[in-house]
Amino acid sequence: MYSVNPATGERLAVYDAHSRAEVNARLEAAAVAFSVWSRETVESRAAILVRAAALMRDRRDELARMATLEMGKTIVSAEGEVEKCAWTCEQFAADAPALLAPEPVKTEAHASHVRHDPLGVLLAIMPWNFPYWQAFRAAVPALIAGNVVALKHASNVTGCALEMERLWRDAGLPAGAFTVVLVPGAEASELVAHPAVAAVTLTGSEPAGMSVAEASGRALKKVVLELGGSDPFLVLADADVALAARHAALARTVNNGQSCIAAKRFIVVESVAYEFEQEFARALGELRVGDPLERDTDVGPLARADLVDELDRQVNASVKAGARLVMGGKPLERPGWFYPPTLLTRVTPGMPAFDEETFGPLACVTRAIDTRHAVELANQSRYGLGASVWTADVQAALELAKSLDVGSVFVNATVRSDPRLPFGGVRRSGHGRELGAWGLREFVNAKTIWVG
């Protein structure tokens, strides 16, 4: 196992995978840690989260640099990711005591209530694109609820994984309560069946989700899946087109375009489509592609060489099928795995740029006859993670939101995850929720207590 700097192609570090015996020992140690951690009060667990937040901020520079070196995100966005993790720790430390308190339910009993008890060891199988945030998004609610976490992270961000293990230990978690297991991705599903594992959460691709869901089903273990997305960005006839276009450029290139909730299909009502395409191209053209360690870089490299090849295939196949290439459209001839912001117009269903998830700075514009047609196009996808709607009529947008088959709808704003709100999707984007009260209770036993 090794990590590579995607801006240069140079190898950063080599890590020895854990043997089967080492994996077993770590999972068994996690189970022992659960017996200690689960007996702590919610308030005591919250204090650990607050300390973890402080350590995240203290170590921001080194943590951000590690993420930039391992997967290529810009240093500014890496710093923002570290801060978001710290905020999430503080948010759950503040909210969890009330959300996890026993809930009285009025019945004919002398007294009845529902407890929220932890399940045990949560196996978290996480991807590389947000190396800290994805792991914290899963771990923080689980930990505050009294569970412990075994993290199987993507191999190319092993350095980030080990930094998180060190941070949680330094924050005061019991030994083994946040443990990293270093195994290849192909072996992740095998971990599900381990008797120490009580539940599973995965953020990743459809194939990975199906494999883990199958393994979880055989083992009869709870699983939450956050999979791919092809989020629609709807621009209606009464929208502020220039504003929408500026936000569209940022929404598509966030994290170098490698985000499941990045806007990917820009569905624009015909009457404003030409203006939007012009403004969109201008905004994309102003973005600076370069070394992700330089603070004025807007778009860095893709994380791996195969991601460049796949994005290039999707662009070429879509153009061959009739899409118009406005800008970009081929890998940059420089060291590293760079693909420039690319804009396709005249994109229609049936083209890879519309039908498939694109993971990189590729934006495709599809014209709609009217609002109703825009919604139909938005729902013409196997994914259902998020959607962004741009219009001057907010009340109409709230009505339209009911018809969008997604997990979240943002009106005149770009889709994002927020620790106060549930995050997740429908259809091929997965099932279950992370974050908020809903994510906090995904991995608890809602235990009925009845007193006669």
Reduced to 3 DSSP states, what percent helix, strand and coil does the chain have, rounded to the nearest 5?
45, 20, 35
Which residues lie closer than 8 Å to 334 by C-beta, 6 or more apart? none
SS3 of residue 103 by DSSP: strand
CA distance 311 to 326: 16
Active site residue 108: no
Instruction: Report the distance separating Cα 181 and Cα 22, nearest Å.
Output: 8
Q: The tokens of 439 are what? A: 């994510």
Q: Out of 81, 90, 165, 226, pick the active-site residue.
A: 226
210: which strand partners? Answer: none
Nearest Cα residue to 40 out of 111, 114, 96: 96
Residue 426, CA distances (Å) to 34, 228, 407 in order: 31, 10, 6
In terms of C-beta density within 10 A (0-12 exposed, 13-18 middle, 19 or more buried), how is residue 395 classed? exposed
- The answer to whether 203 and 140 have CB atoms below 8 angstroms apart is no
Contact 363, 277 (CB under 8 A): no
Rounded-to-integer distance, Cα 127 and Cα 223, Å: 16
Q: How many CB atoms lie within 10 A of CB 437?
A: 16
| Structure token pair of residue 305 | 């060489």
Q: What is the DSSP string of 235-290?
A: E-TTS-HHHHHHHHHHHHHGGGG--TTSEEEEEEEHHHHHHHHHHHHHHHHTPPB-
Based on the residue annotation, tell me whether 260 is a catalytic residue of this protein: yes
- Quick one: which of 205, 211, 345, 183 has its CA closest to 273? 345
Q: Is residue 233 helix, strand or coil?
A: strand
Catalytic residue among 85, 89, 160, 260: 260
Neighbour-count burial for 262-287, b at 16+ CB within 10 Å, e otherwise: bbbbbbbbeebbeebbebbbebbeeb
Positions marked catalytic: 226, 260
